[in-house]
Amino acid sequence: MTFISSIRYIKPDEHRAFVAERLKALKAQLNADIHARTDGGSLRLATWNIMHFSDGGAYDRSTESLLYIAEIIDHFDLVAIQEVNHDLRKFELLMQRYLGGDWDYILTDASGNRERLAFVYRRAKVRFLREAGEIVLPEGQEIVAPDQQNATRKLQFARTPFAVTFQSGWFRFKLCTVHIYYGKSADSSPEMELRRAEIEKIAKFLADMQKAEKRSAGSDANMILLGDFNIISPEHRTMKALLDAGFVTTEGIRDAATSLSGKHHYDQIVFKLAERRVKLGASGVLDIFDSVYRSEDAQHYATSSAIKKISHGRDGTPRGEDKAINYFRRYYRKHQLSDHNLLWCEIRTDFSDHYLDAVAAGEDPRAM
């Protein structure tokens, strides 16, 4: 349950009433899209690139947007967030005032682009097992820079991946989140090759880690890799680089575009599971602008709510209504929520029936 009392600070009165209606609509959408399709005993896992979160300026989230972000997160149990800024004031405000004590989080320090990676998790459903670390490639396994003038230059990741061990129900797993290098999107560009190489390296690193952990007694070695991979499409070599290491995904994730345009499959959740009893349930993409900051709401924001960022330009001069509407649709709503939709998956984590069936049959339950 989110804390929504901050809505009383929203002005003017007509906009406060408008936000209340939109928040109700968002709750209804999340209940229909997520809760109605999943089991309350399952783990609801998500990944979301929240564009320049806590970056200030144009990206300074309002009370309204924090209400919406908190509501979206609260319909899941464990969310990997990319693009958390080095300035944590709004992130900490989100956690403390809007999500509250039912939630906890783990953050990295700031790496490339002064960005952090974060896991936020519901305490009642997810337990942090005190194992966490940023991934640095061993000597000899670094990324070779695709620079024809200096082809032997070796690199680490532009933004360091972050892996944490969690447990939910009977399911113990290592969860790694990434924000892969972007650069130019031309398929023949060195930047695209670097993007592909980063994906290949992190997937292989975790696959090798799983092999090593399988040799350790009592380790289930379940790997989940998720985040913003900047993957072009399910058929593109960036996706092939991810799957070639033996990771798999669900149909609802593999074929789901997460860019607002619906053209790109930037975000992914993939699995390499040693625990045979794990079952993957529903999955998909949440349309973040289906209920809030809708395109049809543009005139309200441009003419009724007197939000200065929309009604005035950078120099303080008033925008005309048409320009204000265009600014809302193209920039403001992305800066307040994100330029990525959220990707999610249900993981069924209660293995008790399997365990009891094995015991009743006189079998070793660990072998099931």
Q: Which one-letter DSSP state was computed for residue 37?
A: G
Residue 317 lies in a domain: no
Mean pLDDT across 159-177: 96
pLDDT above 60: residue 148: no
Residue 305 lies in a domain: no
- State pTM to two decimals: 0.94
Residue 66 lies in a domain: yes
Residue 346 lies in a domain: yes
pLDDT above 90: residue 214: no
> Which pLDDT score is estimated for 314?
83
In percent, the amount of the chain with pLDDT more than 70 equals: 96
Work out the mean pLDDT of the chain and round it to a whole number. Answer: 92
Residues 185, 327: Cα–Cα separation, whole Å: 25
Residue 274 lies in a domain: yes
Residue 153 lies in a domain: yes
Q: How many domains does the chain have?
A: 1
> Which pLDDT score is estimated for 89?
94
Q: 258: domain range?
A: 5-292+337-367
CA distances from 254 to 117, 171, 188, 285, 348 (A): 23, 23, 24, 11, 19
> Which pLDDT score is estimated for 341?
98
Residue 97 lies in a domain: yes
> Which pLDDT score is estimated for 113?
81
Burial of 240 (0-12, 13-18, 19+ CB in 10 A): middle
Alpha helices in 6-62 (DSSP H): 13-33
CATH number at residue 356: 3.60.10.10
Biggest alpha carbon distance in the chain? 78
